[in-house]
Structure 1
Amino acid sequence: MIRLHHSPGTRSVRTLWLLEELGVDYTLVNYALDKSLREPGYLSLNPAGRVPALEIDGVALFESGAIAEVLCERFSPDSLGRPAGHAQRAQWLQWVHYAETISQHCANLTQQHLMLREDHMRSPIIMQLESKRLAKTIGVLEDVLAQGDYMLGTFSAADIGVAQAVGMGQKFVRLDPFPHVADWIDRLSQRPAWGVAMKDADLFYPQDFYDPWPLPDS
């Protein structure tokens, strides 16, 4: 039995996308980003009160990179995953977890633009700094994707995790300076599983783009 606890537009998208690519049976439980994630029943699955949480064979997992490793090792070690001893195993692990390097800046910008609802709570300095840091993390991918259509030559869970993070990042950083990354995102967006995973993502980010506030005149 596999059950995914999910909220559209969040990190749980990468787990939903992976499940769709794997073609395994699962049950999807949707949540709003509200107090329901703080209820004792949910906290028993993810004590941080966030998504995702994945129930699989009586075990609850709540870190998306670890979830990707477990699912790939079980259902697709040689295609979406890279098994122990594979020449690309280290690189695969690095990119699966690099999604969080990108996501931390997306989360900080999301807080500034969406979660802090009063203007006086927001910081133009943080917006500017985090936008530049986010752009730098996305720029790391440009040289990698200049060498092939996918991060490891063939499509894998590494593409799923990082592309989901870049998809969030596109709300705050434009991809014009990164044409190989933009082409990669466009290529991935044609996959049917992308369409399933990204459904209703705009409910979380109602604007197409969020510009950082300009710094005050010195």
Structure 2
Amino acid sequence: MGNSSDEIVFYTNPMSRGRIVRWMLEEVGQPYRAEVLSFGDSIKAPAYLAINPMGKVPAIVHRGVVVTEAAAICAYLADAFPQAGLAPANDDPLRGSYLRWLFFAAGPVEAAVSAKALGLLAPAERSGMVGYGSFEQVVDTLEQVATDARPWLLGEQFSAADVYVGSQILWGQMFKTLPERAAFAGYGQRLRERAAWQRATALDDALIPPRG
């Protein structure tokens, strides 16, 4: 790859949100080096905390820069490697929708799904204080964007937003943290048919120790 600083170093665990970034890296198609961390010592070791003080994965290091947060990594990689065609250009009107849905999934969707799973949703009378409003509002909005009327969130163009939003929907289906909707099922099926998703899933699944 030339200069070693150009190498993408990917810190992950196969049972984490690192699976999102693994899929994104497979879509990008650039070489990368995966450093698999355990949830025990290595993810909280000083060497990794120097990269991400949160002690969480995923993270990437590229050109001497650390990027954390799965949505940010997806957006970063799409812009760093425009030849992969995974983000609308700055002068493309679709850029606004692309950013909108990336941030919607990273903010309201992530917060609402986590809060519901933990039994910590805001009471209805305090819904105005939280970005997600209500869990039902978030799910209904997500259903509208993941419609079967078009293949991808931006229409015909697959993008990094599909990787990130799609991962949330695929997980929601698998772990039953999102209600069943026909639109989610159809969108999820299209995502699972992508070669990059299949490669990433196989790589991560192979790293999970068998249950004894």
**Shorter-chain TM-score above 0.5:** yes
Matched with 2:72 is 66
SS at match of 2:177: coil
Matched with 1:19 is 25
Per-residue CA deviation, residues 167-212 of structure 1 (Å, 9 max, x unaligned), is: 2222133553x211210101111112212333339969x9xxxxxx
Per-residue CA deviation, residues 135-163 of structure 1 (Å, 9 max, x unaligned), is: 64233122222431110012111110011
Q: Is the 8 A contact 1:11 1:51 kept in 2?
A: yes
Match 2:153 to one of 151, 154, 162: 151
Match 1:187 to one of 181, 186, 190: 190
1:103 maps onto 2:110 in alignment: yes
Q: Is the 8 A contact 1:4 1:29 kept in 2?
A: yes
**Cα RMSD, aligned residues only:** 2.8
Q: Is the 8 A contact 1:31 1:37 kept in 2?
A: yes
TM-score (norm 1): 0.75
TM-score (norm 2): 0.77
Identity %: 28
Letter in 1 for 2:143: E
1:200 maps onto 2:205 in alignment: yes
Q: Is the 8 A contact 2:148 2:186 kept in 1?
A: no
Q: Distance in 2 between matches of 1:90 and 1:5?
A: 29
CA distance 1:65–1:203, shift in 2 (3 Å): same
Runs of 4+ in 1 over 6 A off after TM superposition: none
Where in structure 2 are the equivalents of 1:118-133 lying within 5 Å?
125-126=119-120
SS at match of 1:200: helix
> Which consecutive unaligned segments of at least 5 residues does structure 2 have?
1-6, 124-133
Shift of 1:12: 1.8
Q: Distance in 1 between matches of 2:160 and 2:95?
A: 12
SS at match of 2:42: helix
Q: Distance in 1 between matches of 2:163 and 2:95?
A: 16
Letter in 1 for 2:198: G
Q: Distance in 2 between matches of 1:184 and 1:38?
A: 36
Matched with 1:139 is 140
SS at match of 2:72: helix
CA distance 1:175–1:13, shift in 2 (3 Å): same
CA distance 1:6–1:107, shift in 2 (3 Å): farther
> Which consecutive unaligned segments of at least 5 residues does structure 1 have?
113-124, 207-218
Letter in 1 for 2:94: Q
How many equivalent residue pairs?
A: 188
